[in-house]
Amino acid sequence: MPRALICGVTGQDGAYLAQLLLAKGYEVWGTSRDAQVAPVGNLQRLAIAERVRLVSMAPRDFRSVLEAIDRARPDELYNLAGQTSVGLSFEQPAEALESIASSTLNLLEALRFLNRPIRFYNAGSSECFGNTGTTAADEHTPFHPRSPYAVAKSTAHWLVDNYRAAYGLAACTGILFNHESPLRPRRFVTRKIVEAALDIADGDGHKLALGNLEVWRDWGWSPEYVEAMWAMLQADCGEDFVIATGVSHSLRDFVAAVFAELGLDWQDHVLSDPALMRRTDLEYSRGNADKAARLLGWRAQKTMPAVAAAMVSELRAQRLADAASPAHGRPR
């Protein structure tokens, strides 16, 4: 039975990846700063919480990292941990660098020290590219990070590249474009939009305030993107891959699609608030995943309209299930 260790197992991608690996017959371990009080809500949503073995690990403490890897003894290690919010990184830039770049360095050093045949996946980000105009970014597109988060992800990317070349580690980075699901935290704009639209459809008369509606993003579906992560570690040698749908839509389009799923006209319920606009937000983002299609056989199936529809459907069903549970009183 192959064994995997997922750093960040309780997050969106970590939970879906754990589900995928369990279905493939893996023994799955996951890390949390304190395994005894780990927030396992996403794992519970997927009904896999009891099947994931949690181990405590402080990513910025090399000894803790080394002990966690030595205890789990994985064949594959997935680094999905660290700060995940571009907006928050402007408020906490040091945290972004430490939780992403320094933690990645500790993982790489631990792998070098242990000298075991462990395959390593690092979660990169399309934010590293910065503004590329309307060009679809691929593995040869230069990085031009525009946020502390993107700077940290760029640093981690080049650390992986260096350790792969200098020490022969079987390591790769997946440069993932935006990918969503019902497991997205509520602070992320896609989840915020869907939750607000569901509230409004239920009779809540408040307005949804958003920032710049004219940013364009390449939105995919998280459960598909974790399949690409796994496929990268099955390849013969460590390489980096862009993972994207290849289709970009504006935030306005996403909002319209979500509200239309509920029979609503978004223009009646949404306003743009300049206070919510970022100083250096990317205007346009689109990826070219041809290399992943060619070498991994991976292609995105869901583009933005299908992603929006799936999020509305699953979150609405989740609300109904929660309302019908004993903890919320008698079923309606």
Catalytically annotated residues: 125, 127, 149
**Angstrom distance (rounded) from CA 100 to CA 80:** 9
Distance of alpha carbon 286 from its chain centroid, rounded? 16
Instruction: Return the percent helix, strand and coil in the chain, to nearest 5.
Output: 50, 15, 35
Helix, strand or coil for residue 266? helix
Q: Please check whether residue 95 is in contact with residue 83, taking contact to mean a CB–CB distance below 8 angstroms.
A: yes
Distance of alpha carbon 299 from its chain centroid, rounded? 17
**Angstrom distance (rounded) from CA 84 to CA 45:** 20
Burial 249-287 (b: 16+ CB within 10 A, else e): bbbbbbbbbbbbbeebebeebbeeeeeeeeeeebebbbb
The residue whose two tokens read 């750093």 is 7
Q: What is the CA radius of gyration of the chain?
A: 20
- CB-based contacts of 325, cutoff 8 Å, min separation 6: none
Q: Which two tokens stand for residue 308?
A: 């929006």
**Cα–Cα nearest to 107, from 70, 79, 76:** 79
Beta bridge partners of 137: 287
The residue whose two tokens read 């099955």 is 234
